[in-house]
């Protein structure tokens, strides 16, 4: 919303604000790579850590058909993953699997067939 307001004001002035903020050639390169890019990367990493906390993604093949399956463990905003195991059905053949975040193993449930 703030960016839209700035662009709207800049458009009304005939982009004079943009011309005032431009730096001469050698300084614009230095500012971009040594000030702007690190600030943007830091901001992006901070927002990601704020939204997604304690994340772990387990990915592995199905013991039956070999299809890659993925399971997410962690917290997104205030919604947390309860427990250290996820029950996942294979997207290829429908085999039930248990993903364990503590041992980082993908196993079949008790009595499952491979």
Question: Per residue in 33-73, pLDDT tens?
Answer: 898 899 999 999 999 888 887 788 889 998 888 899 998 88
pTM of the model: 0.56
> Rounded distance, CA 3 to CA 71, Å?
36
Share of the chain above pLDDT 90, in %: 19
User: What pLDDT is attached to residue 1?
Assistant: 62
Three-state secondary-structure class, residue 23: coil
């Amino acid at each position: 919303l703030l960016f839209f307001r700035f662009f709207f004001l800049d458009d009304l002035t005939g982009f004079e604000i943009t011309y005032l903020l431009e730096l001469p050639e050698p300084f614009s390169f230095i500012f971009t790579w040594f000030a702007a890019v690190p600030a943007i990367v830091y901001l992006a990493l901070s927002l990601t850590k704020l939204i997604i906390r304690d994340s772990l993604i387990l990915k592995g093949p199905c013991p039956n058909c070999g299809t890659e399956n993925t399971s997410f463990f962690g917290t997104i905003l205030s919604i947390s993953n309860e427990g250290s195991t996820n029950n996942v059905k294979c997207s290829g053949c429908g085999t039930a699997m248990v993903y364990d975040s503590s041992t980082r193993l993908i196993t079949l449930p008790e009595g499952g067939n491979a």
